[in-house]
Structure 1
Amino acid sequence: MTIAAVHVHRLVAPLHTPFVTALAHLTHVSTVVVEIVDRDGRSGFGEAPEVWTVTGSSLASSEACVSEVFAPLLVGRDADDLVENCRRVSGAVVGNEPAKAAVDIALHDLAAVRLGVPLVRMLGGSRLVVPTDVSLAAGTVDSLSRAAKSRAAEGFDVLKVKVGTDAVTDIDRVTAVRQAAGPEVRIRLDANQGWTPREAVRVIRSLEDVGMGVEFVEQPVAYRDVEGLAWVSDHVETPIMADESVFDVRDLVEVIRRRAADMINVKLAKSGGLSGARTLLELARAQGMGTILGSMLETEIGTGAAASLVAAYGTTMVSDLDAVWWLRRPAVVGGMRYQGAAVVLPDAPGLGISGLVAAEVREATEART
């Protein structure tokens, strides 16, 4: 059964609360949705979120990459030839990892739909419920304290605090979160590259000295400063996680070689999809590194695919799958949902998605036989 068409949609979905980090202030999810259709009319979905400060890919560049390169490459090919189709997509262009991820996820989704099984089962797993943390957007001491208290009351027992906006006052922010959330809630920090190495060591050591119980600190320094990341790791006791520093295997090998981090955050939009993410998880596991799977600000498509991979492969710590929690309303028909502090995957073929319902959907282009 051949691939008959590749549709590219632009989708914008509002958030219920601004998502603020050391890198950005976001009020909407902006993403390119790729829909791959076979000759029987069955569809598989994937997405390429626009995150300028991490991947550098825009909606326009992802649309162009999919419509001008990947669509002509795939239309007419056997939809069940999953490994070869994904390999061709991965090698067709340099960079453009979000666009690769969108097509890779859509190919996997379509393959699972054609088999009539949930994506997680096609990946080799059986769980349909996956725990997640929830992020606390960067803000004032008071706003973070209120958010921490609310999220803990809702049942979230792992809070990811966005810091890195001001090293001088970040200690006060984390202290306020701990006091509001209580001693049983796990707290992890994400500086999103916001500190210098010296600032990172100063902040982390101060938190260690007062027994704040931080689970780990994610990407404390600039993504290219792997030497600085290693220096921080060498000078603190708290585990250090690499995020923006690791897109692909070459990046991870360099982090391992320099012993720059204790763990990594694998994201589909950085690694080119499920295929690349699996390789990173396996390499990290072989090297004894800790792992979580995260997501950009995405819809149920990308987050559901990430959660499916976690359910099938597992990670060493609770993963970061809260992106859809930030949406004001569902962006798709069907798909994953939340139950307390967990992602619930649909017991339906593929990602369980039958269409798009976001506030703004514009079909940008398409390719078909």
Structure 2
Amino acid sequence: MEIKSIHTNTFQSPLKTPFKTALRTVHNLEDIVIIIECKNGMLGYGEGSPTAVITGETLGTMREAIEYISGFLIGLNIQSDFDDIINIIHTKLLHNTTAKSALEIAIYDLISKYHNKPLFSFLGGDKMSFDTDITVSLNDIDKMIDDSINAVKLGYDTLKIKLGNDAKKDTNRIIEIYNALPKNITLRLDANQGWNVEQTIGIMQQIENLNIFPQLLEQPIKADNIDGLKQIRDKIKTPILADEAVFSLSQAKYILETKSADFLNIKLAKCGGISEALKIAKLAQDYNVKCMMGCMLEGPIGIVASLHVVSAMSDTITMIDLDAVALLANEPKNCSVIFDESHITLSKNSGLGITY
């Protein structure tokens, strides 16, 4: 299982509809697919989508980072050098978390194929079926109401409502979307750092006074304002989910120690891959804090890899925001994983259960 070569390709797909948040608008997905070939002919696949406004990465920087790190991996053995490989990925270059994650996914694909196990089983999990929420992009109120109603018709019972570009309008967005939907629909609010502390407290207290209680409020303020996050948590009833504030294990530990959030959002592209995601989830488990597994706007390989991690830590990772494939106009190919709108079922095939 000696690594022979590492190559990258580009995965592209138009979206069904533009993806809009307080940070960006995206019309087409374009990400990096990694193919690691071993001397015995076995292939491992990884994927990562550059999100410049969150991780600071672009397609160009990802390719350069992958090429640089790959130089230290050629010739190493997936089985006997596994721990060294993971260490090299994380220590030879700072930051570049999406590039590292893509490399790690391919490595984990290979090691689980070597053991002839699906990745979730190799990681200690057994759960195969999951339900994800769906994102409602940030648009005018009527469009967001229509998108929310259509999502419910497709079978989604949990909606993530994007907010954050106009605090005054956001209050009305929440109220009108809530009133337009059946009361058994779960709402998650995500302001993508678009509010400040005072706006957040004001908006949330206003809707809570109307007996509107979302399941959670995700990262309402700037990621570096942890004190502000704790201040908000102390003033509102809706639980706080930390997202952009949690890239690393040390950041997760600080938020847990200071009780600045109720939940953590783990994303492979933020933390650098499967190994770090597992560490964060296990740390949260020690604090009896539940987590969400989230994603960037990315292709099916990254989504499937995230679900394998969820399976391994399903007692702690209890919320799933892995809807990116449902947003793509093109159906996944070469995939034994079943994507059926909100419902996703992993494959019993060895490795990820998906190729490129």
Shorter chain as denominator, the TM-score bin is over 0.9
Whether the aligned pair in 2 keeps the contact of 1:13 and 1:331 (CA below 8 Å) is no
Matching residue of 1:116: 116
* Residue 62 (1) aligns with residue 68 (2): no
Equivalence map 1:338-349=2 (5 Å): 338-349=339-350
Long gaps (5+) in structure 1: 356-369
Matching residue of 1:304: 304
> Structure 1 CA distance, aligned partners of 2:10 and 2:184?
42
Whether the aligned pair in 2 keeps the contact of 1:300 and 1:336 (CA below 8 Å) is no
Letter in 2 for 1:322: D
> Structure 2 CA distance, aligned partners of 1:62 and 1:185?
38
Whether the aligned pair in 2 keeps the contact of 1:45 and 1:106 (CA below 8 Å) is yes
> 1:114 offset after TM fit, Å?
2.3
> Structure 1 CA distance, aligned partners of 2:49 and 2:333?
15
> Structure 2 CA distance, aligned partners of 1:30 and 1:340?
21
> Structure 1 CA distance, aligned partners of 2:326 and 2:91?
33
Matching residue of 2:257: 257
Whether the aligned pair in 1 keeps the contact of 2:281 and 2:317 (CA below 8 Å) is no
Matching residue of 1:281: 281
Question: Once the two structures are superposed, what CA deviation does each residue of 1:24-51 show, in whole Å capped at 9, x if it has no partner?
Answer: 1011122111111111221111122110
| SS of equivalent to 2:165 | coil
Equivalence map 1:71-220=2 (5 Å): 71-80=70-79, 81-220=81-220
> Structure 1 CA distance, aligned partners of 2:7 and 2:340?
32
> Structure 1 CA distance, aligned partners of 2:207 and 2:282?
32
Whether the aligned pair in 1 keeps the contact of 2:326 and 2:341 (CA below 8 Å) is no
Question: Once the two structures are superposed, what CA deviation does each residue of 1:188-219 show, in whole Å capped at 9, x if it has no partner?
Answer: 10110000110011111111110112110000
Whether the aligned pair in 1 keeps the contact of 2:310 and 2:317 (CA below 8 Å) is no
> 1:221 offset after TM fit, Å?
0.1
> Structure 1 CA distance, aligned partners of 2:336 and 2:25?
27
> 1:340 offset after TM fit, Å?
4.1
| SS of equivalent to 2:293 | strand
Matching residue of 1:317: 318
Whether the aligned pair in 2 keeps the contact of 1:247 and 1:271 (CA below 8 Å) is yes
Matching residue of 2:27: 27
> Structure 2 CA distance, aligned partners of 1:89 and 1:111?
15
Matching residue of 1:17: 17
Question: Once the two structures are superposed, what CA deviation does each residue of 1:248-269 show, in whole Å capped at 9, x if it has no partner?
Answer: 0111122123321111100000
> Structure 1 CA distance, aligned partners of 2:305 and 2:53?
22
Whether the aligned pair in 2 keeps the contact of 1:335 and 1:351 (CA below 8 Å) is no
| SS of equivalent to 1:11 | strand
> 1:335 offset after TM fit, Å?
4.9
Question: Once the two structures are superposed, what CA deviation does each residue of 1:130-154 show, in whole Å capped at 9, x if it has no partner?
Answer: 1111111111111111111111111
> 1:17 offset after TM fit, Å?
0.8
| SS of equivalent to 2:318 | coil
> Structure 2 CA distance, aligned partners of 1:67 and 1:93?
11
Segments of 4+ moved more than 3 angstroms: none
> Structure 2 CA distance, aligned partners of 1:98 and 1:54?
10
> Structure 2 CA distance, aligned partners of 1:189 and 1:337?
27
Percent of counterpart pairs with the same letter? 30
| SS of equivalent to 1:229 | helix
> 1:288 offset after TM fit, Å?
2.2
> 1:332 offset after TM fit, Å?
4.2
Say which structure, 1 or 2, has more relative contact order (CA 8 Å, 6+ apart): 1
> 1:272 offset after TM fit, Å?
0.6
Question: Root-mean-square deviation (CA), in Å?
Answer: 1.4
Higher mean C-alpha displacement, 192-201 vs 23-32: 23-32
| SS of equivalent to 1:292 | strand
> Structure 2 CA distance, aligned partners of 1:168 and 1:64?
42
Letter in 2 for 1:73: F
Whether the aligned pair in 2 keeps the contact of 1:117 and 1:348 (CA below 8 Å) is yes
Letter in 2 for 1:59: L
> Structure 2 CA distance, aligned partners of 1:186 and 1:317?
14
Letter in 2 for 1:168: K
